[in-house]
Structure 1
Amino acid sequence: MIVIIGFIVVLGSIYTGLSIGGGNVLVLWHISEFITVLGICLGVMIIASPLSVLKAIMVKVLQAFRGGPVPKRAFDDIMKMLYQFFMLARKDGLLALEEHLANPEESSICSKYPSFYKNPRAVQFLFDNLRPIVDGRIKPEQVQGMVHAEIETIREEQKKPVHILQMVGDSFPGIGICAAVLGIILTMGSVAEGAETVGHKVAAALTGTFLGVLGAYGFINPLTTLIETNNETELRYYRLIGNGLVGFANGLAPLMSVEMARRALLSSERPEADDLEVRLKEMMSAR
């Protein structure tokens, strides 16, 4: 929603500025320039991106409009869920986790936290790293390296859509100039038609330059920055899970394992340690 508000502010500023200056926003409406600029940008993106990256770009843009890949409650939910898993393992042994790992959709613990089980990547990340611990196929000191390697893979995957969008944003002004040059070429063929016709065509050509600069600095570059911020938030979510698993694998008490997980968050996202402890204990006592 906040992205839409920002776009409205940008467009509203253009409309207001034109109106104050005595102009009409319709002077910017030259469909040929829009098709040229947007079409070239789309083509550049297709040329530069494998199909998997194009899909990732669409996902990242949609997530930006929806408020980000990690809902506000997701950090709290995952800490509660990890605590329940760790307490279950401490009380009944590691094998008690197997039924939850085998069928996460039917897990009595996972089903309480839709922010987790509706995120396939998060489910895969947690269970792929928890399963070797439960099966005893990995030493406790090796867990951190395994988790770190997967987080680095996620980081690399996140970089690709951002890189392509940055490239498109940087190309937008140049593409606008290309559209303007095409407009001037058309104008040169209409010199004999009089000053009014030439003026109209020159205005249309200059609109291409305007669209290129506006597209870059008013829309694409800010959106790319937001996606980068969302990516960092998503990485902290996975670091939270990873820190909790590392603490659990190394024999820390469930509460301390969750405390390790909590340290992955920014101060604006992180609940107070005492408050979190109280809520976790109340949750378990209410069961």
Structure 2
Amino acid sequence: MKLIIGLLIVIGAVFGGYLMAHGNLLALYQPAELVIIGGGAFGAFVIANPPTTIKGVFKGLPALLKGSKYNKQTYLDLLSLMYNLFAKARKEGLMALESDIDEPEQSEIFTAYPKLMGNHHLIAFISDYLRLMVGGNMNAFELEQLMDLELETHHHENEQPSHALQTMADGLPGFGIVAAVMGVVITMGYISEPPEVLGAHIAAALVGTFLGILLAYGFAAPMANAMAAQAEEDSKLFECTKVCIMATLNGYTPQIAVEFGRKVLFTNLRPGFLELEEHIKNQKK
């Protein structure tokens, strides 16, 4: 919804202001210019990026319509899940988690949070590092290094679509200039025509520059930034998980371990201490 509202504001402000200045909308209708700019930019986008990144962009654009998939409830569930896992390990020993992490879809602890279960990468991340803790062959420093490497790779992969879209946005004004130059070349063929004919062709050429800049800064670049913000939110979920695991690995109680995780969350999504405590109590019922 936010994406649609933003696009409507851009379109309304640009074209509304143009009409206020008594502009003619038909003069801006230049499909050939749009083909040159859009087609050229998309072709360069295909050349520059691997298939996985191209797929990621087309998958990420519809997600912008839905907005962020993470809210305070998501983090309440995550912290509650981590607490329950740590509490079981503290009460029954780390080996008691073996059945939970080997088959999360059969675990009473994991299945109590169906929304988190839909995030297969997150569940795999939790299971893998709890499994390493159960194995007991890695110290805290080694485990943290490994987690940091995986999180860096995960964040890099998540950012690729937004970087690709931003690169395309950076190139759109250039393709607008290409369209404008080609329009000028066409205009030169009408140099002997009356001023009104010549003026129409010059206006058509200038529309190329206008479209390139508008598509870049009014559409592509803002959407790239929005995709980057979503990638950052996804990374925060994993960072919270990492901090919780490291806290319990260093000997803190489940209550303190999840408090470590709570502290790294963005303030607008961070649940309060009592709010989290109440949520954990309700999950036990």
TM-score strictly above 0.5: yes
Q: Match for residue 265 of structure 1?
A: 265
| Aligned residue identity for 2:204 | A
1:155-170 equivalences under 5 Å are 155-170=155-170
Distance in 1 (alpha carbons) for counterparts of 2:186 and 2:159:
40
Please give the residue correspondences for 1:36-51 in structure 2 after superposition, counting only pairs within 5 Å. Answer: 36-51=36-51
Higher relative contact order (CA 8 A, sep 6+): 2
User: Retained in 1: the 8 A contact 2:68–2:230?
Assistant: yes
Partner residue, 1:224: 224
Give, in angstroms, the shift of residue 192 of structure 1: 4.6
Q: Residue 179 of structure 1 contacts residue 209 of structure 1 at CA under 8 Å; is this kept in 2?
A: yes
Distance 2:160 2:190 in 1: 44
SS at match of 1:149: helix
Write out per-residue CA displacement over residues 137-190 of structure 1, whole angstroms, 9 at most, x where no aligned residue: 323443222221211112222343333222222211111010111112222223
Q: Which runs of 5+ in 1 are unaligned?
A: none
Aligned to 1:246: 246
Deviation at 1:193, TM superposition (A): 5.0
Q: CA, structure 1 residues 234+181, in 2 after alignment: closer, same or farther (shift >3 Å)?
A: same
**Structure 2 Cα separation of the partners of residues 110 and 192 of structure 1:** 77
After TM superposition, the structure 1 stretch with the greater mean CA deviation from structure 2, 30-39 or 108-117, is 108-117
Q: 1:136 Cα shift?
A: 2.6
Structure 2: gaps (5+ residues)? none
> Hey, what does 2:133 align to over in structure 1?
133
Backbone CA RMSD of aligned residues: 2.0
| Residue identity opposite 2:13 in structure 1 | S
Deviation for aligned residue 1:217: 1.3
**Gap change, CA 1:191 and 1:133, over 3 Å in 2:** same
Query: Do the aligned partners of 1:151 and 1:235 also contact (CA within 8 Å) in 2?
Result: yes
Instruction: Give the number of equivalent residue pairs.
Output: 285
Q: Which residue is equivalent to 2:198?
A: 198
Within 1, Cα distance between the matches of 2:25 and 2:98?
63
Q: Percent identity?
A: 33
What SS class does the counterpart of residue 277 from structure 1 fall into?
helix
Aligned-partner Cα distance in 2 for 1:250–1:59: 39
Q: Distance in 2 between matches of 1:71 and 1:105?
A: 23
TM-score of the superposition, structure 2-length normalised?
Answer: 0.91
Structure 2 equivalent of residue 78 of structure 1: 78
